[in-house]
Amino acid sequence: MGKIISKKEIVIAMTATDQFPFYYLDKSGNLQGFDVDIAKKMAKELGVKKIVINREAQSFNEVVTLVAEGKADLAISKLSRTLARAR
């Protein structure tokens, strides 16, 4: 959390594939949806002005990998809890 707050930026991992209504590109090409709203609310609560959405993951497991590798601070991507992801 300290790293996120100090750099005033949070990187959120989401899959490349749209998952309506959780996250999707609207007609203007802007990312929208429940998960995007959660990310914005978290950033606001942390006092973070910049949100970067990393959508390079092709699967839900890859979203978790992005966080594990330090390429994202948080995964918000219609994720369910599994034992493998917890490990």
Q: Does residue 12 have a pLDDT over 90?
A: yes
User: Could you state, in order of their start, the residue ranges of all structural domains in the chain?
Assistant: 2-86
25 has which bridge partners? 31
Over the stretch 27-73, which tens digit does the pLDDT of each residue have?
Answer: 999 999 999 999 999 999 999 989 999 999 999 889 999 999 999 99
Distance of alpha carbon 37 from alpha carbon 39, whole angstroms: 5
pLDDT on residue 85: 67
Residue matched to tokens 């497991």: 61
Query: Looking at domain 2-86, does it have CATH number 3.30.450.20?
Result: no
Task: Give residue 26's pLDDT band: very low, low, confident or very high (50, 70, 90).
Answer: very high
Residue at token pair 């978290």: 42
What pTM was computed for the model? 0.83
Give the contacts of 51 (CB within 8 A, at least 6 positions apart).
9, 10, 12, 39, 40, 43
